[in-house]
Amino acid sequence: MFKITKQSKKSQARTGVLKTAHGSVQTPFFMPIATKGAVKSLTSDDIRRLKAQIILSNTYHQLLRPGLEVLKKAKGLHKFMDWDKPMLTDSGGFQVFSLTKIRKILPNGVKFRSHIDGREFLLTPKKALEIQKVIGSDIRMVLDVCPSYGCSKKESQSAVDLTTKWAKESKKFKSKDRSLLFAIVQGSTSKDLRLKSAKELVDLNFDGYAIGGLAVGEPGKEMLNVLDYTVPALPKDRPRYLMGLGFPEQIVEAVKRGIDMFDCVIPTREARHGRIYSFRYPDRAYSRVEGSRGKLYDAVSITNAKFAKDFSPINPSSKVRELKMYTKAYLHHLFKTQEPVSIRLASLNNVEFYLELMQRLRVAVKKGEV
């Protein structure tokens, strides 16, 4: 299932291969987010052109729309959205727990009302996996409790206890297909609770382990501190997934600490606001994020007046024809005139940047640079 191909001697970074029902994925990797069955403003063909290895979708949103009946008739989300490569689905826990006014945590699951039409649902550990089976995802997450940053120790303890309880129940319902089942370590920023959660979940022997409840408002140094003591508590022979992260420099630091899998809304969310990512050193396999040579990347607002007459390509080294053909001045014009294609071009650029970042990191680990 998971094989480490290179272990860095400079850090805890490693490369590996994760085998799934829809193919193998090279780690570390980034998953573009197709929460509702599409990466925002992009088609599945676009994502293939960008060389994405795997995407992420969401159980909660797929349950509400298009719904299980449609997904069954479509024979799963892969066929529905024309995606033939691996897919991971979150259990929906984070979305449900973020809707504090319309949900209630119970011992056996979460009762919530749809934010769309008010329909009531009960999401249990078994139900979460049943939905993911209908979706047909390759990697499925167990239902967990994700407390907010700054919560009390008591609340965090309760979240850990319920997460372990639901993880035990989830093991009973693991599908007989070739899907992989991941558990999620909780515990907020409490070292003893994080280690308790990790031990309890590792004892249950899951296919992989995610670290949840980070990148939810805590200071960056505190997040890295949690990784410093949590990652070593996870099995070396299983993939490690840091959920919801993050900015490029955060990903680099997490890879150095042994994280293999990432997802984040930043590439497409920033694109919708005209923020464009690019490498400062496009000819380098890897560049330091900090140090005498400066940051690894630039992130600029294309709506800034200085780009109105910048006729250089959006990305001259891109593998995507549109990004090499169209200029920054043209993209500036598209955003200023609110043409929808502006978001598409910016999203192509940013998703490609994130995927190339992971490729650079894989090369860097293999070369002993990280």
Write down the catalytic residue from 46, 207, 260, 263: 263
Kindly tell me if the per-residue pLDDT of 363 is higher than 50: yes
Q: What is the largest CA-CA distance in the chain?
A: 61
144 has catalytic annotation: no
* Tally of CB atoms within 10 A around 296: 20
Global pTM exceeds 0.85? yes
pLDDT of residue 104: 87
What is the rounded average pLDDT of the residues 358-366? 94
177 has catalytic annotation: no
For domain 2-264, give the CATH number.
3.20.20.105
> How many Å apart are CA 195 and CA 233, to the nearest integer?
7
- Confidence grade of residue 281 (pLDDT, cut at 50, 70, 90): confident
- Confidence grade of residue 290 (pLDDT, cut at 50, 70, 90): very low
Task: Write the pLDDT tens digit of every residue in 45-86.
Answer: 999 999 999 999 999 999 999 999 999 999 999 999 999 999
Task: Write the pLDDT tens digit of every residue in 292-344.
Answer: 456 789 999 999 999 999 999 999 999 999 999 999 999 999 999 999 999 99
Write down the catalytic residue from 46, 90, 144, 260: 90
- Confidence grade of residue 291 (pLDDT, cut at 50, 70, 90): very low
pLDDT averaged over every residue in the chain? 93
Task: Give me the residue spans of the domains in the chain.
Answer: 2-264, 271-367
Task: Write the pLDDT tens digit of every residue in 161-209.
Answer: 999 999 999 999 978 899 999 999 999 999 999 999 999 999 999 999 9
